């Protein structure tokens, strides 16, 4: 009798929740997580602004008005910094003045530029997730790929760009793939957990890069600075505005979109992709079906490493043109959040990368105009990740009906499972 009442109560509670369309079920939680993070970020901005407290001293209404004014100014400057001012863009395009056009579209081009390495790094971690592997080593693979890319970029001379540029890109992919395959081999052959191994490989990569690039190191420029020589112009990724040093957007962005499509095709339209997903979901069943589980694990980690390598290659060949000692900006670690936010789907990774690119590009403008600390961006990223990692919080807050069993994607296996 009690069980019947509990079941009835559960059904009533389920019916009271908000029924969302089927197409929205996969994107609903991430979108609501972003919305909730923006609300929390707005509260943080308000609570850390002295002018709000001063306005409340004058009266409650004045305080409330000031709260909304501060939030509006902060997020308004963030939007302009990430996407540009729509009025200025339209006016500049109508005028036909190239200088004004470049100034107007700079914010959105910078968002796309920052999103480019994010897409590659996010795809790297997403492929690992699909294979049941937690690749924490994208940062180390990024460093090693940077070394191999820059070495091919500056050591080869006299080659036409049609040969030199692909060689430099391939060098980055190979460097990342080899660095990723090592923990994959250890996982597949010995069962050593990839999280521990990739973390250790990160530290090895960091220290190895320091040794190679420090003043007097084998790959240092030789002028006392811890940077590599500059790559040859024949290895540069083509720029959209080659005669303008302000806009740094290059063809790497469209290369990233093409690779995202390729990863989708590989995962969902090929036999190898099916094996990767099967091993990721149930390695025992995959082994029973005759799949070579250790080999698939190694291949998955190698592909993941190659994608992380592309992140470094496009950064060097398209933006920096050399490798500094302090190379990475945390792309490899942010990639974990991108893969989670994108539900380990290539399209989701692209969209989440664009979001993080906008967060980084808009944060500078928000700090300069609205005087909001750039750390607010990190808070937004952290809150988004928390809500994505714990989707029940979002479902409870917004009273969403829970999806039926089997409709949610399982990203990774438990610790120690094989």
pLDDT, one tens digit per residue, over 32-52 is: 888 888 888 888 888 888 889
The reply to whether 151 falls in a domain is yes
The reply to whether 264 falls in a domain is yes
Share of the chain above pLDDT 70, in %: 88
What would you measure as the largest C-alpha separation in the chain, in angstroms?
85
Chain-centre distance for alpha carbon 340? 10
Is 265's pLDDT higher than 80? yes
The reply to whether 103 falls in a domain is no
Share of the chain above pLDDT 90, in %: 59
Higher model confidence: residue 124 or residue 333?
124
**Residue 218 three-state SS:** coil
Q: Which tokens belong to 159?
A: 């080659």
Is 410's pLDDT higher than 80? no
Closest listed residue to residue 187, CA positions, set 136, 141, 126: 136
Rounded CA separation 407/273 (Å): 20
Give, as one character, the DSSP assignment of residue 319: I
The reply to whether 232 falls in a domain is yes
Q: Over the chain, what is the mean pLDDT?
A: 86
In degrees and rounded to multiples of 5, residue 97 shows phi and psi of: -80, 115
The reply to whether 376 falls in a domain is no
Give, as one character, the DSSP assignment of residue 1: -
Q: What would the pLDDT profile of 348-389 be if each residue is shown by its tens digit?
A: 999 999 999 998 888 888 887 777 777 777 787 788 778 877
Closest listed residue to residue 35, CA positions, set 357, 384, 348: 384
Expressed as residue numbers, the domain containing 257 is 113-237+246-354
Q: Which residues is 390 bridged to in the sheet? A: none
The reply to whether 405 falls in a domain is no
Give, as one character, the DSSP assignment of residue 324: B
The reply to whether 74 falls in a domain is no
The pLDDT of 190-214, averaged and rounded, is 94
Q: What would the pLDDT profile of 121-177 be if each residue is shown by its tens digit?
A: 999 999 999 999 999 999 999 999 999 999 999 999 889 999 999 999 999 999 999
pTM comes to: 0.86
- Measured over the CA atoms of residue 209, residue 211, residue 213 and residue 219, the dihedral's sign is negative
Q: What is the pLDDT of residue 365?
A: 82
Tally of domains within the chain: 1
The reply to whether 389 falls in a domain is no
């Amino acid at each position: 009798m009690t069980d019947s009442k509990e079941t009835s109560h559960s059904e009533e509670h389920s019916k009271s929740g908000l029924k969302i369309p089927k197409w929205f079920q996969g994107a609903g939680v991430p979108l609501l997580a972003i919305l909730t993070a923006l609300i929390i970020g707005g509260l943080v901005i308000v609570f850390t602004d002295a002018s709000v407290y001063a306005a409340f001293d004058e009266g409650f209404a004045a305080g409330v008005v000031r709260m909304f004014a501060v939030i509006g100014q902060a997020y308004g400057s963030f939007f302009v910094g990430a996407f540009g001012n729509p009025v200025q863009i339209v006016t500049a395009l109508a005028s036909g003045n190239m200088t004004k056009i470049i100034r107007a579209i700079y914010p959105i081009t910078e968002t796309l530029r920052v999103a480019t390495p994010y897409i590659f790094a996010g795809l790297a971690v997403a492929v690992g997730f699909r294979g049941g592997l937690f690749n924490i080593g994208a940062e180390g693979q990024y460093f090693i790929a940077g070394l191999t890319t820059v070495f091919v970029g500056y050591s080869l001379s006299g080659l036409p760009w049609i040969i030199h540029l692909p060689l430099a890109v391939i060098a980055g992919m190979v460097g990342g793939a080899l660095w990723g395959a090592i923990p994959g081999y250890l996982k597949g052959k010995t069962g050593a957990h990839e999280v521990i191994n990739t973390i250790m490989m990160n530290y090895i990569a960091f220290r190895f890069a320091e040794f190679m690039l420090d003043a007097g190191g084998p790959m240092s420029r030789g002028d006392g600075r811890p940077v590599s020589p500059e790559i040859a112009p024949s290895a540069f990724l083509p720029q959209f505005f080659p005669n303008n040093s302000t806009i740094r957007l290059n063809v790497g962005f469209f290369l990233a979109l093409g690779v995202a499509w390729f990863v989708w095709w590989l995962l969902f339209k090929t036999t190898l992709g099916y094996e990767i997903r099967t091993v990721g979901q149930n390695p025992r069943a995959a082994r029973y079906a005759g799949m070579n589980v250790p080999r698939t694990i190694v291949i998955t980690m190698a592909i993941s490493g190659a994608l992380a390598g592309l992140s470094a290659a496009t950064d060097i060949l398209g933006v920096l043109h050399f490798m500094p000692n302090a190379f990475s900006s945390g792309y490899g670690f942010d990639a974990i959040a991108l893969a989670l936010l994108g539900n380990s789907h290539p399209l989701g990774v692209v969209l989440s990368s664009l979001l993080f690119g906008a967060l980084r590009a808009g944060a500078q403008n928000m700090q300069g105009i609205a005087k909001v600390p750039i750390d607010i961006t990190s808070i937004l990223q952290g809150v988004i990740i928390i809500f994505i990692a714990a989707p029940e919080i979002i479902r409870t807050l917004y009273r969403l009906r829970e999806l039926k069993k089997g409709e949610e994607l399982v990203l990774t296996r438990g610790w120690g499972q094989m």
